[in-house]
Every structure is written in structure tokens, then in C-alpha cells.
Amino acid sequence: MNAFLGTGLLGSGFVRAMRRRGEEVRVWNRTHAKAVALEAVGARAFADPAEAARGAKRIHVVLSDDAAVDEVLERARPGFAADAVVIDHTTTSPTGTAARAKRWEARGVPFLHAPVFMGPQNALESTGIVLVSGDKKRVESVRPALASMTGAVHYLGERPEHAAAFKLVGNLFLMVMTSGIVDMFALAKATGISSAEASTLFDMFNPGLTLGARAKRMTEANFSEPSWELSMARKDARLMTEEAARADVALTVLPSIAARMDALIKGGHGGDDWTVFAKDALSTQAK
């Protein structure tokens, strides 16, 4: 039997999929009506997280942040079975995750952090990606269950907070990528192209195919053999900025990129590959 603490959009999708597989599930949510709604598919709803967790072999957590996870786990603790494992799918900070794992291990409660790259529909369809780190034997013991929930399970090593770090890194990229699309639409507007027409760019050009090569160049610090000089990239950024300004259209991320380009050019990197942007990030990353 499983427990799910947190039945918002993602959690409820997981629960519905579990019930379709015939798994017994007990549920709790801060807004009790959301948990009660899942009784229609055969889950059992409880107003107290400790009662929802009572007797469960796996206690899945899908909440909002570190503070919510800490609060709810403390409230649920009286219901933990001796052999229960807590699997937290919440997007949390690496620092908070490390402290949380250490705290629960000291109390004799097995804890794993397993954040996901998937939306509510993925949870319902059991398709997506789960990242997990921590004790390898423990991860292997729950791998079949995680695979049934998500499809793909990626183990990232013994450090309990490693999956949390990867999740934030991935979410940051999604934010930057999406902001780039917003600026693309803004420049398209400034030049008389509709957003729908601008979107057709991706029918003929897939920038995703270049990501691996760009990342490799950066991690190898291969900036002295440019495929696109920083000074030329800055020229293009100037053209974009000028066109947007003529149409009185605001750009979101390009001004920050241009300012970083200017600082690097001033520092003598104008003739380097424009991926020299990574120089400071690589030299100051945590060891």
C-alpha cells in the first residue's frame, strides 16, 4: 500500500495512474477536498497526513517547497511504518534536501529525493523522467515502482541532494529557453512577422541539435577557435536591439546578454568564440 502526501495536479495524476494499475493508495492534501475527489477512483482520503501514511510501504511526497515538505513530514511521522520509505518528488533546494536526508536517516527513516521532469498529463500516463540520488541499494529497491510511475529512471549517484541540483539546473534551462522564445516573438513583432509565422522557424531549424556541441565546447574551454566570434554576435545583438527599439518593442533577456557581451569584449574576448560566456561559470563552479 502507498501513501501520497500532496494531491495537486501532479500528485493526483500519479494517484489516478496507481489506481488504474490496481495499487492501494491513501491520500492527503492540505486542501482536503482535493484528496476527497480521488475517492472516486478508489483512493482513501484522510484529513491527517499521519493517518494517510499509516501502514504504507512507500510514502510519496509532492508538495510546493522545502518548508512544506519539512512541515508535512513532521506531521506524518507518527504514521510511518517501521519499513516505510519516504520518496520526495518535490522540487526543493539541494541544501534543504541534503539536510532533510541527513535528518531522516538519523531517525532511522529511509529517505530518497526523486524529482521529476513531467507534467500532470505525464503523471496520468506514467510517461516522463524521474531523477533520483542517494543510497544505491535503496534506489534499486524502489526502481520498479518509480519506473511504473514515470517510464524513465535516472540514478545520479550517492549524494542525496544531487537529483535536487539536477532538477534546478534543468528548470533553469527551461526558463531561459522559454524567455528566449518570448524575445524571438518580440523581435518578430518588431519586424512585421506574426508569432505563428515565427514559430515555423523550428520547422526548418532545430537549435536543439547544437546543444551538445555547444556544451562540449564550453566544458573544454575551447574558446580560441571560434565558429562565431563574440564581436560578431554582439553586432547581431545590436541589430536586434535597434529593430526592437524602432518598433517600441521591449526585449526581456537580450539586454542582459548584450551587457555581458560588452563586459567580455572589454576584457579582450571579442575574437573568442561567443561561448566564452561560460568562462566565469566554469572557473567558479563548486568543487
CA distance 285 to 266: 23
pLDDT score of 284: 56
Do 2-159 and 166-284 come out as alike in CATH topology? Answer: no
Q: Are 243 and 191 in contact (CB under 8 A)?
A: yes
The type of residue at 270 is: G
Question: What is the secondary structure of 120-152 as a DSSP string?
Answer: HHHHHHT-EEEEEBS-HHHHHHHHHHHHHHHEE
CA distance 217 to 278: 10
Please state the domain extents for the chain: 2-159, 166-284
The pLDDT tens digits along the chain (287 residues) read 999 999 999 999 999 999 999 999 999 999 999 999 999 999 999 999 999 999 999 999 999 999 999 999 999 999 999 999 999 999 999 999 999 999 999 999 999 999 999 999 999 999 999 999 999 999 999 999 999 999 999 999 999 999 999 999 999 999 999 999 999 999 999 999 999 999 999 999 999 999 999 999 999 998 999 999 999 999 999 999 999 999 999 999 999 999 999 999 999 999 999 999 998 888 754 43
pLDDT score of 287: 39
Exposure on the CB side of residue 260, measured as CA atoms within 13 A: 14
Q: Taking the CB of residue 199, how many other CB atoms lie within 10 A of it?
A: 14
pLDDT score of 279: 87
CA distance 254 to 64: 31
Q: Are 11 and 31 in contact (CB under 8 A)?
A: no
**Residue that has been written with the C-alpha cell 534551462 in this structure:** 173
Q: Domain 166-284: what homologous superfamily? A: N-(1-d-carboxylethyl)-l-norvaline Dehydrogenase; domain 2 (1.10.1040.10)
CA distance 266 to 190: 29
Q: Taking the CB of residue 67, how many other CB atoms lie within 10 A of it?
A: 11
Q: Domain 2-159: what homologous superfamily? A: NAD(P)-binding Rossmann-like Domain (3.40.50.720)
- The DSSP bridge pattern shows strands 44-45 and 116-117 to be unpaired
**Helix, strand or coil for residue 215?**
helix
Q: Which residues contact 8 (CB under 8 A, 6 or more apart)?
A: 29, 34, 62
CA distance 79 to 48: 10
